[in-house]
Amino acid sequence: MSDGDVLAVADHRRGDLRDVSFQLLTAGRELADDLGGDLHVAVISGDVDSFADQLAREGVDTIHTVSEGEEFNHDVYVQAVEALFDELAPTALLAPNSVNGLDYVPAVATRLDVPLTTDAVDLTYDESLEVTREMYGSKVETTVEVTATPFAVSIRGGEWPAAEPGGDAEIESFPFDVDESEIGSRVTGFEEVGGGDVDIGDAEFLVSIGRGIEEEENLDLIRDLVDATDATLSSSRPIVDNGWLPKNRQVGQSGKQVTPDVYLAIGISGAVQHVAGMKGSDTIVAINTDPNAPIFDIADYGVVGDLFDVVPALIDEFGG
């Protein structure tokens, strides 16, 4: 059986390791310490030698490079991780809960027949694995116990600090031949979306609107506030999904990352994918009817109230 080792699989895209990969090293080291094992890191596809040099940080024991293909392909990842898993027999498989993580981790866990817990914000192991994760749109946290080994866990970005440079990781090339007959998907290109006339990333003051606005017509109210305060208009995802605002106004994981002086979130609950795009703002203000809305956890100033009362009053303040 497995001996407490952790296998952590790094994430990269178009030539760059993603930030979460360095956080993964910290999560992996902590878990390996709990388990009394080593931290193995795998990096698959792309310029693996350069990636391995960057991943050789504090706490990493061995880095396995799998030189196969350029960009992420889930079929290659599934095969490579399966081969690494067979070879190393780790107790834990760890990966980022990124969009590419969503695309291969459940398949690997299924193929290896190991239990999977996703989007962990904390992990401890003491006779069994305890995973902390959120539910109900971040309104509650839960503890999930996993009583079998080996197991797979994906971790949320931004929850662990990046590992420090240094350490004395060994870098090994992992011999691996892909089975081409099992490749059933092909990446044909990438496209940047959400360009256009405004760049909400440049704004000093963002008035950002969420699903609390209810109807497209009601956006006029927010536009009046934007005019009265000379702000820039942005939004959460549902407003863009509904086609009420163009994609270049969307703040969040799949939209823009913004860092204005003031971010005024109106009728936005504060889902993790939204917060990922605005938590670096200098001052965050939230207007929401729900006192338990997660947005208040990261807000500096809060107004618990109905936007249809507060926003008109605010427009009056600025002589709108």
Partner 1 sequence: MKILVTVKEVAEAADDFEIEGDDIAERYLEYDLNEWDDYAVEAAVQLQEAGEDVETVSVTIGPERSEETIRMALAKGIDRAVRVWDDDIAGADLDVAARARLLAAVAEEEEPDLILTGVQANDTGFGATGVALAEELGYEWAAVVNHLDMEAGDPAAAVRRELEGGVEELTEVDLPAVLTIQTGINEPRYASLRGIRRAQSKEIAPKALSDLGVDESVIDSPIRRTAMYEPETESDATYFEGDPEDQASELADLLREKGVAQ
Q: How far apart are alpha carbons 93 and 161 in whole angstroms? A: 19
Backbone φ and ψ of 46, nearest 5°:
80, -160
Check binding of 12 to ligand FAD (CB under 6 A). no
Q: Which of residues 142-181 bind partner 1 (CB under 8 A)?
A: 142-148, 151
Least separation in angstroms between CB 25 and partner 1: 19
Q: Which of residues 231-250 bind ligand FAD (CB under 6 A)?
A: 236-238, 250
Size of site (CB under 6 A) for ligand FAD = 29
Q: How far apart are alpha carbons 312 and 320 in whole angstroms? A: 9
Q: Which helix (H) or strand (E) holds 124?
A: strand 122-126
Least separation in angstroms between CB 280 and partner 1: 14
Q: Which C-beta is closer to partner 1: that of 175 or that of 291?
A: 291
Given a contact cutoff of 8 angstroms between Cβ atoms, the answer to whether 114 and 151 are in contact is yes
- When CB distances are held under 5 to 8 angstroms depending on the partner's kind, the choice from partner 1, ligand FAD, none that residue 269 binds is ligand FAD
Q: Which C-beta is closer to ligand FAD: that of 50 or that of 229?
A: 229
Contact with partner 1 (CB under 8 A) among 53, 170, 172, 204: 204
Contact with ligand FAD (CB under 6 A) among 20, 32, 293, 299: 293
Backbone φ and ψ of 125, nearest 5°:
-125, 125
Q: Which C-beta is closer to ligand FAD: that of 244 or that of 308?
A: 308
Contact with ligand FAD (CB under 6 A) among 101, 150, 255, 260: 255
Check binding of 97 to partner 1 (CB under 8 A). yes
Q: Any long-range contacts for 125-132 (C-beta under 8 Å, 24+ apart)?
A: 125/31, 125/34, 125/35, 125/92, 126/34, 129/92, 129/153
Least separation in angstroms between CB 16 and ligand FAD: 20
Q: Which of residues 102-161 bind ligand FAD (CB under 6 A)?
A: 137
Check binding of 241 to partner 1 (CB under 8 A). yes
Q: How far apart are alpha carbons 248 and 62 in whole angstroms? A: 42
Q: Which of residues 91-110 bind ligand FAD (CB under 6 A)?
A: 99
Q: How far apart are alpha carbons 311 and 225 in whole angstroms? A: 7
Given a contact cutoff of 8 angstroms between Cβ atoms, the answer to whether 196 and 246 are in contact is yes
Assign 61 to helix, strand or coil.
coil
**Tokens linked to 213:** 């606005």
Q: How far apart are alpha carbons 116 and 292 in whole angstroms? A: 29
**What residues make contact with ligand FAD under the rule CB under 6 A?**
99, 137, 210-212, 236-238, 250-255, 267-269, 271, 273-274, 277, 287-290, 293, 306-308
